């Protein structure tokens, strides 16, 4: 799930796993404080398909990074 920026989350996208929220798809891409241009910034939509691909639409408006469509294999 994507985390709303108003709450200043540590991670912008998380997965609920074993009763804990963990960064998704990994810490490097989900860390809200990351300076990477490839990080997940402001994800508006998350969907998974029948092939195990997770699609995320990132508008980049939290920190002004480039908007992008991100795919992650699960």
pTM: predicted TM-score of the whole model, two decimal places = 0.84
**Average pLDDT score over residue span 21-37:** 90
Asked whether residue 25 carries a pLDDT value surpassing 70, the answer given is yes
Distance CA 66, CA 47 (A): 20
Cα-Cα end-to-end distance for the chain: 14
pLDDT band at 49 (very low <50, low <70, confident <90, very high): very high
Contact 60, 66 (CB under 8 A): yes
Count how many domains the chain has: 1
Pair 46, 56: CB distance under 8 Å: yes
Task: State which residues form the domain around 58.
Answer: 5-73
- Mean pLDDT on 50-63: 91
């Amino acid at each position: 799930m994507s985390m709303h920026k108003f709450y200043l989350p540590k991670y912008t996208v998380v997965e609920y796993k074993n009763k804990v929220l963990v960064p998704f798809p990994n810490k490097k891409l989900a860390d809200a404080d990351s300076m990477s241009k490839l990080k997940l910034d402001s994800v508006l939509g998350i969907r998974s398909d029948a092939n195990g691909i997770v699609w995320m639409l990132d508008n980049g408006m939290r920190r002004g990074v480039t908007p992008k469509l991100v795919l992650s294999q699960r």
